[in-house]
Structure 1
Amino acid sequence: MLELLWTLCRGVQVVIHPSDRIPGNLDRYTEEAPATVDFSLFFFSSYDHGSANKYDLLQSSVRYADEHGFRAVWTPERHFHEFGGLYPNPSVIGAALAVSTRRLEIRSGSVVAPLHDTVRIAEEWAVVDNLSGGRVGLSFAPGWNANDFVLSSTSYASRHQRMYEQIAEVRRLWEGGSITRTNGFGQEVSLQVYPRPVQATLPVWVTAAGSEESFRSAGAIGAHVLTHLLGQDLEELAGKIRIYRESRRQHGHEGPGTVTVMLHAYLGTDEEVVLAAAEAPFISYLKSSIGLSRIMLEESGLKEEDINEELKEKILRNSYRRYAGGSALIGTRAGCRQLVSRLRHIGVNEVACLVDFGIAEDKVLQGLEELDLLRQEFKATGLAAHRPITMMQSTPSLLRLLEEEGSSAKVLGSLRALLLGGEPLPAPLLAQLRSHYNMSVYNMYGPTETTIWSCVCPPAALDGQVSIGRPVLNTRVYVLNSHMQLLPVGVAGELYIGGEGVTPGYLHREALTAERFVADPFVAGGRLYRTGDLARWLPDGRLECLGRLDDQVKVRGHRIEPGEIEAVLTGIPGIREAVVLVENSPKGDAGLVACLVADNAPDTGQLRALLGKQLPPYMIPWRFVTLPELPLTPNGKTDRKRVKERLLTQTPVENEYAGPTTPTEEKLQAIWETVLEISPVSVTDNFFTLGGQSLSGMKLLNMIRSRFAIKIGIADIFNAQTIKELALLIDDIEKVNAIQTADVQHIEKEEIIL
């Protein structure tokens, strides 16, 4: 906070990269402020017949959305089936919501126009427009379930043509025009509808998804578009949006129109908890949807009974994985933010969040709080995002990732100064940055206890040996031995820091304060902070930091007490002893390794899961090693130095090289060798044993997503740690996707959900 306060008080604009964002793509900070993405709520309940309060979730959610600035609420039209069965008439629901809200727009998603007389559509929604003070919007759909047409005299086969005719008629009536009909005496009469609506022009959407022609037709009549991601990916949707907007332009309609995308939504703060809570309700919801589409499957020559239960469950589980992984807002803000950003990039203006797919009401309402925070991130400011970024502060580990990931070259190239700290600066990374960019690199050093930065090495001084430089103003730095005596140049000792930045100590931790904050023997009344870092003076007056004197370690900018991890490990049944150390990967990245003495310990995946329940991600070791015993010092304590020596000298049990046997394994082997910079990699080698860690895991994940065009998450990398395991997972996903694609091709995709 003090870093920010000092900077802001001097008129410098500061951009804070959120800690819950996946690292990468900092180039977005060089762009103008992007367009707004509005957030709305969408309802399509497969409800519990036994519930006495069937509309409570709708009313509570809408009340929250109205109070917190959401754009609209969408309700569907459904008949003769529990899937959406709460909503046989959206105008009736709309009237109820109109009088209980003040700001939300009241929209149908959708009115199945061919089931109704056009006059009744205009009359009913004119009432809702008056009740709401002019907040109505209608999306029109032609209908898809033949059973629904018992309500209509329209031919099922001509329903698309009839819908567009009705849109024109409703618009004309809404704007005060008339329609000619035959009355009870057989006479032709000209009719207008009442009450007159508040809005002079009715906002109209067309529900579309699978057919490019639907997008083209919506553009031709100047309507907006309501769509979803079932049966189409973002690339396909982007192409259809281009067709829609070109059609609007060709037919002389002003503006780009609004594209609204419906997405299932449930957000929380813990990814695993959210995904687990949503899985069963979502799969149950999909089962209801499959029942709804049985008629079309049979019309297409497919019968639901021909799909066995095992295959059906597999399809449903994979559907959930696919939706949660990239076609729905299910997870945390960090994960869902990327999808909304991509939708905005392809021209989507609004996300309609379907929240009622079976999750308990209290959890849905809690999830709305996170959804609202996500919504606020995509509000327009009307101004450029900020002035050009010229200075950046980061850890070396993040900079290495940004360099490798490649989507931040523009912002890195715009920098005049780069401040690196929080962990040692590797000389190869420094050389790499200097060869790629024209920037001044400063190596920073300082613990929180001395108000962040205490030493800095300016660019000119980094031309030789990498060091932490000299003390900043109002700071004293000493290299002392165990007797608090000054040490000469070249002799290593503990680093002590004094001066104006030294804090009073740790709140309510008097013993620790007395241990780490001591009197300054060289300045009367002064105080020093014992850093626990080993350092020495260089001949030119700069300081070199050599590591730690105690067991505390620093990994990717995080100070870690290994004892905390060891305590959790030894609390796991089957583990008798544990020591956690730091090791470097072949690329120089630091990571944690857990050395265990165990009788019957859980496997690596289970260990990570158990640790993840009590520790933050940066404290989870990247690999686990089992030893027969831990060496001891003469006084009976664990000899960490000898454990590390044993770890270094112990030859890992290497798998006999196994080459790829399938096309998927061949592709994965090439990706692994690129990420790990090791060749050859056996299909049975463990990613983390070879030096992989969370940052390189993100690079691996991005390359797999790009190469295979599938949706997998970082959890899949941790669960399938060899090429062979990962190939089986990918093949399984692709097989199920192929089955689903084949099934969907037999169905009119544009009306599966909406």
Structure 2
Amino acid sequence: MSISTNKKFKNIFVKAGNVFTKSELISIANRVINVLITRRIEKEDVVLAFISDEQYLIPAILAFNAFKVNCTIINPDNQNLDVKSIINTNHPKLIFTERQYASKFNGAEIVIVCEDDNEGELPPLAEFFQQLGKITVYDDTIQTLNIKEIETFFNKLDSLLKKDNEIFRLSSDIPYLNYVLEILWAISRGITVVLDDLSDDARLYDYTILKNNNILDFGLFFFGSDDTSQSSDKYSLLFESIKYADLNNFSAVWTPERHFNEFGGLYPNPSILGAAIAMITDRVSIRSGSLVSPLHHSVRIAEDLSLIDNLSKGRAGVSFASGWQCDDFIFFPENYSNRHEIMLEQIQTVKKLWQGEKISIKNGLLQNIEVEIFPKPIQTSLPVWVTVSGKIETFIDAGKIGANILTHLLWQDTNELMIKISAYRQALKDSGFNPLSRQVSVMAHTFLGEDNDEVKNAVRGPLKKYILSSTNLIQSMVKSNIESDKSKDIAGRYGSENTTISDSQLDQLAEIAFDRFFDHASLMGTIQKAALMIEKLKSYDIDEIACLIDFGMSQHEVLKSLTYLNTLKNKYEEFRSPRFPVTISHCTENEIIKFLQKQELKEYLKNQTLIVSDFHTDILKSLNLDVKKMDLRKNINEQNLESIANNNSLEQSFVAEISNDF
């Protein structure tokens, strides 16, 4: 018997700034299992753990569970416990402890945890907890829990807390039973666990999401037309630009999905390109932007992305789009009428497959079978965006499911964009997600140089030709500029040619479109001009600029422009980047009081879900917190105590009680 790497065990374990990988935890668990085998421990035997270091305690508990022994845990930090009496009462067959505690167990059969490494295979964590035996915990009280009670505790945590891309910090001062069980819960859900008292303020920056107004990510976006004059090496610009981005710490590269049209014609399959990009890069995130998911089977989407994730060692991401051009739907014509709803369903299906779950689906004989994807992905959670052309309803839908946003500056009025992003952040909050933990990426045409007029003259011809490669784009522009503002939400969508517009009209309209792009909806011109646009966009609460660079300029010109873009990017790089931005904290009230004494620590509280153990309404009231109470003894029935709202209240905090009394 040994413990294997389950798909949900891909998180990391952080203590005092030190990172412990899942393979390290598994190695320790396997050593414990080997000891149980060699010492002839049998099912239902009592095994005792007296271990203070969670790096050894948690793997030991997992090993005990796999072996189906009765586990007794003693809190080593409780000086009031009579260890000798506990041993005489429980008669453990074996005691696992650390060398520093060995003298407490004179005459007993003990094992010192920590030596040789051993790799092995671990059953699925869902099975793990089905195998749990009895767990007895000695602290200020003695509590014995069976598998049913532990499952109830875990289910209550599931209903209280979101589990998508979360990082969970636990204070060692919370009740010991909660501390142990919540670590086990987080690990079983693929959540990274942080154990740190934050006594060192400098450590705070390892874990805190601060909305620094000087932080902005820059990625590269591609949507180039298929130019038949470059038939020999159509992807040279793409790959050389991406190599530059990878070397210079750009955040991501985006490749779209386009079909049956010259416009965007270089990019019919973002998955194939993503695999190629993975082989020539080391750092940059590789994102399909966008993947028109109703044109594909959900299982195929998950398989392709997982392959990219493996090839890139954990850098895959995807923005889902519903599609709009009916001709594209030759692959799945039946999906066209309900494409938006189908896309939202596919996002959930792909997430389930990514996390290792099986789904039921019909095979060639129309029989229902259970399928899962291989290879298993590297990342615990797939980074997901939803592509939004302009409809505020889609912004809100993305917020409801906790997705990031990919949008554009093509025909959206920037003031309207601000309203839509605000609605998206509110939808995140209303759906239980931390609004600051999700990202708004905005695509903008980009070309920078030394002089605004020189840049404008240089880009005029290529950009107008790029615009003219889709007359539907021009027609959308006509509606947004001539008919009414309400038509803007259909602009920027590209389709097939329409010959009802004359060449002279097309040229005139392309000139109008070009002027708008250059002056109001792009990063074109000098660094200084682009910086003004960025400051405007930052005020709208965006997190990333996706710089579209392949609209017809030569490779030499684009690569030179990237050097200016890199200079601009460096102005907005994050100086203190949190390694593990905590999104959930279980802390004590005393910690909260300390946090509120410093502005930056207040920000620490604002940007996450809070769980509070020693809950005293009157004290929290005096701190002007917006308080809600959760009591696990009452099946997580939410009780609104008092809402004390003012301008300084922690509006994004969620304060709850987890009792150690079930």
TM-score normalised to structure 2 length = 0.51
Other structure's SS at 2:288 match: strand
Other structure's SS at 2:337 match: helix
CA distance in 2, matches of 1:294, 1:239: 25
CA distance in 2, matches of 1:292, 1:178: 41
Q: Report the counterpart of residue 748 of structure 1 in structure 2.
A: none
CA distance in 1, matches of 2:526, 2:537: 17
Q: Offset at 1:203?
A: 0.6
Residue 290 (1) aligns with residue 471 (2): yes
Listed one character per residue, the Cα deviations across residues 673-710 of structure 1 (whole Å, up to 9, x for unaligned) are xxxxxxxxxxxxxxxxxxxxxxxxxxxxxxxxxxxxxx
Q: Offset at 1:380?
A: 2.4
Q: Report the counterpart of residue 109 of structure 1 in structure 2.
A: 289
Q: Report the counterpart of residue 185 of structure 1 in structure 2.
A: 365
Residue 202 (1) aligns with residue 396 (2): no
Other structure's SS at 1:280 match: helix
Residue among 517, 523, 527 paired with 1:323: 517
Q: Report the counterpart of residue 56 of structure 1 in structure 2.
A: 236
Residue 146 (1) aligns with residue 340 (2): no
Other structure's SS at 1:264 match: strand
Q: Report the counterpart of residue 28 of structure 2 in structure 1.
A: none
Quick one: which amino acid aligns to residue 343 of structure 1? L
CA distance in 2, matches of 1:187, 1:329: 53
Is the contact made by 2:474 and 2:510 (CA closer than 8 Å) also made in structure 1?
no
Residue among 222, 230, 249 paired with 2:410: 230
Q: Offset at 1:151?
A: 1.1
Quick one: which amino acid aligns to residue 374 of structure 1? L
Q: Offset at 1:165?
A: 0.6
Quick one: which amino acid aligns to residue 40 of structure 1? G
How do 1:556-635 residues align onto structure 2 when only pairs under 5 Å count? none
Q: Report the counterpart of residue 314 of structure 1 in structure 2.
A: 508
Q: Offset at 1:182?
A: 1.1
C-alpha change, 1:92 and 1:211, in structure 2 (3 Å) is: same
Quick one: which amino acid aligns to residue 170 of structure 1? V
CA distance in 2, matches of 1:184, 1:315: 51
Other structure's SS at 1:329 match: strand
Quick one: which amino acid aligns to residue 283 of structure 1? K
CA distance in 1, matches of 2:375, 2:442: 32
CA distance in 1, matches of 2:302, 2:461: 40
C-alpha change, 1:201 and 1:210, in structure 2 (3 Å) is: same
Q: Report the counterpart of residue 484 of structure 2 in structure 1.
A: none
Quick one: which amino acid aligns to residue 416 of structure 2? E
Is the contact made by 1:83 and 1:292 (CA closer than 8 Å) also made in structure 2?
no
Q: Offset at 1:376?
A: 0.6
Q: Offset at 1:155?
A: 2.9
CA distance in 1, matches of 2:380, 2:564: 36
Is the contact made by 2:474 and 2:506 (CA closer than 8 Å) also made in structure 1?
no
Listed one character per residue, the Cα deviations across residues 77-126 of structure 1 (whole Å, up to 9, x for unaligned) are 01111111111110000000001000000001111000000000000110
Q: Offset at 1:296?
A: 12
Is the contact made by 1:33 and 1:381 (CA closer than 8 Å) also made in structure 2?
no
Quick one: which amino acid aligns to residue 267 of structure 1? L
Other structure's SS at 1:54 match: coil
Q: Offset at 1:276?
A: 0.5
C-alpha change, 1:278 and 1:243, in structure 2 (3 Å) is: same
Q: Report the counterpart of residue 93 of structure 1 in structure 2.
A: 273
CA distance in 2, matches of 1:80, 1:258: 31
Quick one: which amino acid aligns to residue 46 of structure 1? S
Q: Which runs of 5+ in 2 are unaligned?
A: 1-210, 480-489, 491-495, 578-662
CA distance in 2, matches of 1:47, 1:77: 13
Residue 163 (1) aligns with residue 343 (2): yes
Q: Offset at 1:195?
A: 0.4
Other structure's SS at 1:65 match: helix
Quick one: which amino acid aligns to residue 130 of structure 1? N
Q: Report the counterpart of residue 557 of structure 1 in structure 2.
A: none
Quick one: which amino acid aligns to residue 135 of structure 1? R
Q: Offset at 1:294?
A: 7.1
How do 1:59-458 residues align onto structure 2 when only pairs under 5 Å count? 59-256=239-436, 257-290=438-471, 304-382=498-576
Residue among 206, 218, 221 paired with 1:42: 221
How do 1:706-745 residues align onto structure 2 when only pairs under 5 Å count? none
Is the contact made by 1:75 and 1:108 (CA closer than 8 Å) also made in structure 2?
yes
Is the contact made by 2:474 and 2:509 (CA closer than 8 Å) also made in structure 1?
no
- Which structure exhibits the higher relative contact order, with contacts defined as CA atoms closer than 8 Å and separated by 6 or more residues? 2
C-alpha change, 1:296 and 1:312, in structure 2 (3 Å) is: closer
Listed one character per residue, the Cα deviations across residues 547-596 of structure 1 (whole Å, up to 9, x for unaligned) are xxxxxxxxxxxxxxxxxxxxxxxxxxxxxxxxxxxxxxxxxxxxxxxxxx
Quick one: which amino acid aligns to residue 458 of structure 2? A
Over the matched positions of the two proteins, sequence identity in percent amounts to: 43
Is the contact made by 1:81 and 1:292 (CA closer than 8 Å) also made in structure 2?
no
CA distance in 2, matches of 1:33, 1:294: 40
C-alpha change, 1:101 and 1:317, in structure 2 (3 Å) is: same
CA distance in 2, matches of 1:185, 1:374: 58
Quick one: which amino acid aligns to residue 558 of structure 2? V
Q: Which runs of 5+ in 1 are unaligned?
A: 1-31, 384-754
CA distance in 2, matches of 1:45, 1:309: 22
Q: Report the counterpart of residue 3 of structure 1 in structure 2.
A: none
Other structure's SS at 1:58 match: helix
CA distance in 1, matches of 2:229, 2:497: 30
C-alpha change, 1:296 and 1:329, in structure 2 (3 Å) is: closer
Is the contact made by 1:114 and 1:154 (CA closer than 8 Å) also made in structure 2?
no
Is the contact made by 1:282 and 1:320 (CA closer than 8 Å) also made in structure 2?
yes
Is the contact made by 2:468 and 2:474 (CA closer than 8 Å) also made in structure 1?
no
Listed one character per residue, the Cα deviations across residues 311-333 of structure 1 (whole Å, up to 9, x for unaligned) are 32222112111111121011000
CA distance in 1, matches of 2:380, 2:432: 20
Is the contact made by 1:47 and 1:358 (CA closer than 8 Å) also made in structure 2?
no
Q: Offset at 1:297?
A: 10
Q: Offset at 1:35?
A: 4.0
C-alpha change, 1:98 and 1:249, in structure 2 (3 Å) is: same
Q: From the CA coordinates, give the structure whose radius of gyration is larger.
A: 1
Is the contact made by 2:467 and 2:474 (CA closer than 8 Å) also made in structure 1?
no
Other structure's SS at 1:147 match: helix
Q: How many residues align?
A: 352
Q: Offset at 1:45?
A: 0.6
Q: Offset at 1:274?
A: 0.9
CA distance in 2, matches of 1:172, 1:353: 31
Is the contact made by 1:271 and 1:331 (CA closer than 8 Å) also made in structure 2?
yes
Q: Offset at 1:72?
A: 0.4
CA distance in 2, matches of 1:77, 1:294: 22
Is the contact made by 2:471 and 2:497 (CA closer than 8 Å) also made in structure 1?
no
Q: Offset at 1:306?
A: 4.2
